[in-house]
Amino acid sequence: MGVVFALLWGSMTSASAATPGALSPADASARCAAFFGVAPGPDPEPLSACQWDMRAIGAGAASYANATGAGVRVGVIDAGVDPTHPDLAGAIDIARSCSFIFSTTPTADPREIANGDCRNKAAIRDLNGHGTHVATTIAGRVNGVGIAGVAPKARIVAIKACTIAGFCSADSVAAALRYAGDLRLDVVNLSLFADPYLYYCGNDAQQKAILKDLQDASRYAQQRGVVMVASAGNEAQDLGHPTTDEVSPDWPPDTAITRVVHNNCRVAPAELPGVVTVSSVGVTTLAFYSNTGGPTVDVAAPGGDAEQTSGETYGRILAGWSSTDDTGFWDFLVSDGRGVEDVNGGRWVWIGGTSMAAPHVAGVAALIRQLHPNWSPGAVAAHVRSTATPMACPADWPADDARQCSGGPTSTTFFGAGLVNALRATS
């Protein structure tokens, strides 16, 4: 499916209002403070002790003094958002938010189908959770609740292109991109790949046609001033030297085949021209699941990898979760010690994936947009790269891993120009 984490989904159940076993924010903060050796929140928020990711990229009080994303509109092309999440209070531009889930979209829940009718605001609600996690990472408010995002005063435009099941149909993604262009949004985040193919290959007429539609939509958005940020993907592959695709097509069910892929095949949107593509790191190095590859990867950002913290969940990314998750995943995360819930029903979870890395970069792009509103998308992308903290190739990377790092001190196939840096980008 187009929206994926570096873990598996649970079974389908309904979300509950109060969840036995969920951590309280105070308990979660205390555990994180002890684990990371930092002061408990608020600095600036109650769960900030858990936000190793923000500390890693220089996002916090110092960067907020330079820019907060005020006046910037960020499109989250995803599974929707939870308009009631406390960390998004006042953050969501409901008037411009829209669902591009169609009656013909595979795996769609009737509640999220709007067929591009932007008057149907109920359809933007996040029945999955993924979109809310992304949105709060970008623009979680500094309001005394939960976490703080990279750009805590940016406005989120929820553009739903992914279903409750995490299926992001290519036609929905293309329509979402064109809509972002129509609105002349400042930044869009795409923590997804466009279904039903992981790789779209030029020697197949159908795949070539779908890829062209996505390319055209992306080009239109960029021509209208939109900075596009996308996740590199979670298949642990080198996009510069692809070899096999084992998951396509992922619809209809059970039709996937193992096929050989080469450089005439592209992952979309990660390999669309002009897109800022993001690989994922844990607290020390490349995440076990992250795709890599030059020149595809522009920068790296925290996406989490529990194994880099001795298997502790705190090495994943903590951000908001939807109160209307109808996948059963919330209950699984709570049972696994990864769900936080406050007395008012606000939810936060630890998960990992390049889906979690991309919004850190989208947030930094929003900060740059605030400071330089007239810059072209290319100029914003260049500034993201030029202010990243260079990361060298790992010295002890396993020789049997298909991903092998190459490059010099300022650019590598694993990390691009390096770890995105909010403070440097705004200084």
Q: Find, among 268, 275, 214, 216, the residue nearest to 239 by Cα.
A: 268
**Plot region of 304 (φ>0 → left; ψ -120 to 50 → alpha; else → beta):** left
Residue whose C-alpha is closest to residue 231's, from 5, 61, 7, 79: 5
d(CA 291, CA 293): 7
Please confirm, yes or no, whether 130 is among the known catalytic residues.
yes
Catalytic residue among 97, 322, 355, 411: 355
Query: What DSSP designation does 86 have?
Result: G
CA angle 301, 220, 191 (to 5 degrees): 25
Residue 99, helix vs strand vs coil: strand
- What gap in Å lies between CA 368 and CA 78, rounded to an integer? 22
Q: Are 393 and 385 in contact (CB under 8 A)?
A: no
Nearest CA among 285, 278, 251, 233 for reference residue 393? 285
Is the backbone of residue 315 left (phi > 0), alpha (psi -120 to 50) or beta?
alpha
Is 109 a residue of the active site? Answer: no
How many helices (DSSP H) and strands (DSSP E) are in the chain?
Answer: 10, 16
- Residue entry with tokens 């008037």: 95
**Which residue is listed with tokens 């196939």?**
413
Tell me the backbone φ, ψ of residue 317, rounded to 5 degrees.
-105, 125
Look at strands 276-281 and 299-302 and give their pairing: parallel
**Residues listed for the chain:** 427
Residue 127 · residue 99 · CB < 8 Å: no
Is 262 in the active site? no
Which member of 53, 78, 195, 305 is catalytic? 78
Out of 29, 82, 130, 191, the active site residue is 130
Question: Which residues are known to be catalytic?
Answer: 78, 130, 355
